[in-house]
Chains A and B, each alone.
Chain A
Amino acid sequence: DTEVTQTPKHLVMGMTNKKSLKCEQHMGHRAMYWYKQKAKKPPELMFVYSYEKLSINESVPSRFSPECPNSSLLNLHLHALQPEDSALYLCASSSQLAWGETQYFGPGTRLLVL
């Protein structure tokens, strides 16, 4: 089983709203990632968690706040977003944050900020 699940599949929010994206995997993976993908572009790394600790923050604005409550769950809390933050948000996981580990992606959450 190489499944990463994400909820919700679609999300529409206003610029003053607070919402959260959820990602879950039950593969025993200890590294989890958030990516942002704009239309017709490859995914761009946002955050990396390793063993539930934030390892990498790719200079993401503070209106995006990641959280890893346990080894199977990864959340992305959204607050005061801008219309340009509209994108497909992808979660991925790998066995660990190490050399050459394959990343498995979830189906994504399509976010529209009005």
Chain B
Amino acid sequence: TQLLEQSPQFLSIQEGENLTVYCNSSSVFSSLQWYRQEPGEGPVLLVTVVTGGEVKKLKRLTFQFGDARKDSSLHITAAQPGDTGLYLCAGHAGNMLTFGGGTRLMVKP
């Protein structure tokens, strides 16, 4: 069983601060997705990374896939209250998707 560990589990910050969420595994993943989920809603895809060392930017969000494709990070610059939610990383090993435990982010105005 491939395991993905996310850290931190919870993060409460003030508007305007920067933050980084980590997703780590001892296994190699063929690709990794980041999702954001609001309470009672389904996960919404933010990005897919497939190449070791890849960096993708989505406005204030920067995603990085580790060189060995075992880890990933999500960095948010100047967080806003609208960024509040559950951030999930999910890695592909073969056909199936393995989810990390999630990072619950709260950005206070």
Contact = CB atoms under 8 A, between A and B. Distances in A.
A pairs with B = yes
Interface of A: 2, 4, 6, 40-43, 45, 48, 56, 88, 90, 92, 97-108, 110
Nearest to A89: B42
| B: interface residue count bin | 20 to 34
Given A90-B43, A105-B43, A42 B48 contact: no
Given A98-B95, A99-B95, A102-B48, 4 more contacts: A90-B42, A92-B42, A107-B41, A108-B41
A100 B92 CA distance: 5
13 contacts: A40-B102, A41-B102, A42-B100, A42-B101, A45-B96, A45-B97, A48-B95, A48-B96, A100-B30, A100-B92, A103-B97, A105-B44, A107-B42
